[in-house]
Amino acid sequence: MRRMILALMKKEFLQVMRDPNMLRMIFLMPIIQLVVLGYAINTDVKDIHTIVYDYDRSELSREFVRSLSAGEYFRIEAPEYPVLDAARGFTENRYTAALIIPEDFSENIDRRLPADVALIVDGTNANSAAITVGYAGIIAGQFSRKVAGMSSPITMRQKMMYNPESESVNFMVPGLVALLLTMITSMLTSMAIVREREVGTLEQLMVTPISTPALILGKTIPFAILGFLELSVALAFGVLWFGIPFVGSWPLLYLLSFIYLFTTLGVGMFISTITKTQQQAMFFAWFFMIFAIMTSGFFTPISNMPQSVQYMTYLNPLRYFMTIIRGIMMKGSGIEILYPQILALIGFGIAIFGMSWMRFSKRVK
Amino acid sequence: MTIVAVENLCKSYKSLTAVDDFSFAADKGEIVAIVGPDGAGKTSLFRTICGLIQFDAGDVTISGYDVSTRFDRIKPLLGYMPQTFSLYPDLSVEENLRFYAGLFGLTGSQFDHKKGPLYEFSGLGPFYDRRAGDLSGGMKQKLALSCALIHDPKVLILDEPTTGVDPLSRRQFWQILKQLQKQGATLIVSTPYMDEVALADRAIFMHQGKKLAEGPPDRLTERYRGKVYRVKVEPSTERVGQIMDIGNVDVRRFGAALHVYTSASTVDDRLIGQLAEIGIEPDRIEPIKAGLEDVFIQLMGN
């Protein structure tokens, strides 16, 4: 039994090493995805191009504009179009915000009257528009207190935990590592099994004394090992290149990844039982991935989803692993906190791997 | 001693009957050739013997073990070479062999002892590190056979091992099979080539899932009813038409000549006269012994 599993594993690794595409997929893909997503998916809102129509032209109005541009959030530019034509700049993507200071601005402040300013924001990207408005509101509030001495009874002092700079890369990379692990293990497993069926070697294996459990283990263990390799490459790249913090326990992350692999390898095996060609397998694996990614909280928080979709996310094993990997890496969460997710993963692992094992055994009999 | 026994085997796929009440047996050290056109049911028959598909009715035993219940005991005795090349094209010759050796539980040193003789008779030695996918058709088949032999099986099931292989490689392949037979193996081989059938100890004609005839190849030719003439003329469609017009005869192209079939079992002088009338001189006409193909075609027609 042991010798047969080893023979199968050795063959599997030989085949992976022989296939340049496979090697690229395993080692190059994670790095490219990390670089692209790490830099491109930047939800940080900085350098908001803003034009200012200052009709007041007073010392006070200029100071207000300066306080806006003091941080790294707003970049103030001179208007190119008359104020009635300001929308043209939005359609031409020249700026995303326009500030209009009316001529009675300083006068109203001197008289301790409410002074209105208008901020017009390009709402195409709702997320960054909301953040822009938020920043501007905070700065306006500070300006009011300072200049006019108007004090509000509540002063909010903000402190962001775990990701103080709000670096989206710190949040994206752990999520991406989870995606890569899922993708590699489920896709490669399904394709490797289907390839045997496509070429006809699966039938050849059936006339050898290899038992079904040995066959399953010999076909899945190599991809579990590759999964760990993938995990390590991606994590090392994230920590060393992007300098993302890793607060929690490495052994715990590897242990929970191991538990999670039962689910992804099981999915791969299941896909192999419902497909006949590698293309079909890839298509199904892709379909699974899209569902898993969209409902995992990778891009958008689950709590922002409609209630019905939120219920659906409970069926997504990636959702739990996403919470686990972000929790361990960013907050240093331990078992005592993550146990609901861990239990869910154990349940999914047993159910999916077990079901696929039975389906696979039935198909090869 | 009977090694393989197939009794009243039936296998059908939905509306198609692939194997229809088929029985045969193979004795120890015998080469049995199963002959039939494409779609005769040869592959289905072999796949049921190898336990790869379930059958609807009948019994299959190998070395006394029932295929459907004791297949685990049969596996070590059985070597199967499927019709389509089913090895790993991206692995080398030796890696393929080593892999199958591992699956049959051979240790590394056992394999090292085993590979020498396998390389020797297959002639694959010089190509040990070539990828299987880069081998020629004949070499591929020899590698597939070598993989099927890695565990010294007592019974070899070979599904059209020489189809699409050049004539020289086919001859070499059969020399290997003869050698295996001498070592005591039982071989069941399917083939579409009649010249190979003559090399078997016993031939079974299979058509539409049924057994048409069975026996030693030289005895099977005696079953022919009627007479066969070899007519050495250009085998043109025109000629075939002219001879068919004589009536009561059948004509087939046979290489560079024509075969004319009559139902009379003695030489028909009237026919020779009629052929002379259409310009075929008697010295171009030669009565010959019916070949296996002639027998097969006649049996298929009935």
Under the banding of pLDDT at 50, 70 and 90, the label for residue B91 is: very high
Q: What is the DSSP string of A67-92?
A: HHHHSSSEEEE--SS-GGGTHHHHHT
pLDDT of residue A160: 66
B87 contacts A201? CB cut-off 8 A: yes
Kindly list the structural domains of chain A, giving each domain's residue range(s) and its CATH number in brackets, ordered by start.
2-41+167-364 (no CATH), 48-148 (3.40.1710.10)
Contact A41/B at CB under 8 A: no
User: Residue B99: its chain A contacts at CB < 8 A?
Assistant: 7-8, 10-11
| Mutate which: A207, A210, A212, vs B, most B CBs within 10 A | A207
* Minimal C-alpha gap between A14 and chain B (Å): 7
Q: Is B195 exposed, middle or buried (0-12, 13-18, 19+ CB in 10 A)?
A: middle
| Span B199-225, pLDDT tens digits | 999 999 999 988 988 889 888 888 888
pLDDT at residue B301 greater than cutoff 80? no
| Mutate which: A208, A210, A362, vs B, most B CBs within 10 A | A208
> How far is Cα A206 from Cα A203, in angstroms, rounded to an integer?
5
Residue among B51, B86, B147 whose CB faces A200 most closely: B86
* Minimal C-alpha gap between A219 and chain B (Å): 13
Kindly list the structural domains of chain B, giving each domain's residue range(s) and its CATH number in brackets, ordered by start.
2-221 (3.40.50.300), 225-301 (3.30.70)
B75 contacts A208? CB cut-off 8 A: yes
More confident residue, A262 or B299: A262
Under the banding of pLDDT at 50, 70 and 90, the label for residue A124 is: confident
pLDDT of residue B239: 83
User: Residue A215: its chain B contacts at CB < 8 A?
Assistant: none
> How far is Cα B302 from Cα B300, in angstroms, rounded to an integer?
6
- For chain B, the average pLDDT equals 88
pLDDT > 90 in chain A, percent = 40
Contact A18/B at CB under 8 A: yes
Under the banding of pLDDT at 50, 70 and 90, the label for residue A356 is: very high
Q: What is the mean pLDDT of residues A72-94?
A: 85
Give B77's contacts (C-beta < 8 A, 6+ positions apart).
Answer: B62, B63, B153, B154, B155
| Span A311-324, pLDDT tens digits | 999 999 999 999 99
| Mutate which: B62, B74, B99, vs A, most A CBs within 10 A | B99
- For chain A, the average pLDDT equals 87
**Reduced to 3 states, what is the DSSP secondary structure of residue A209?**
coil
Contact A203/B at CB under 8 A: yes
| Span A151-172, pLDDT tens digits | 555 666 666 677 666 677 788 8
Under the banding of pLDDT at 50, 70 and 90, the label for residue B194 is: confident
pLDDT at residue B98 greater than cutoff 90? yes
* Minimal C-alpha gap between A7 and chain B (Å): 5
Measured CB to CB, residues of chain B less than 8 Å from chain A are: 50-52, 72, 75-76, 78-80, 82, 84-91, 95, 98-105, 107, 147
pLDDT of residue A162: 72
pLDDT of residue A365: 60
Under the banding of pLDDT at 50, 70 and 90, the label for residue A218 is: very high
> How far is Cα A117 from Cα A102, in angstroms, rounded to an integer?
7
Under the banding of pLDDT at 50, 70 and 90, the label for residue B260 is: confident
| Span B131-176, pLDDT tens digits | 999 998 889 988 999 999 898 899 999 999 988 888 888 888 899 8
Q: What is the mean pLDDT of residues A179-206?
A: 90
> How far is Cα A288 from Cα A187, in angstroms, rounded to an integer?
10
| Span B48-84, pLDDT tens digits | 988 888 889 999 999 989 988 888 888 889 999 988 8
pLDDT of residue A150: 59
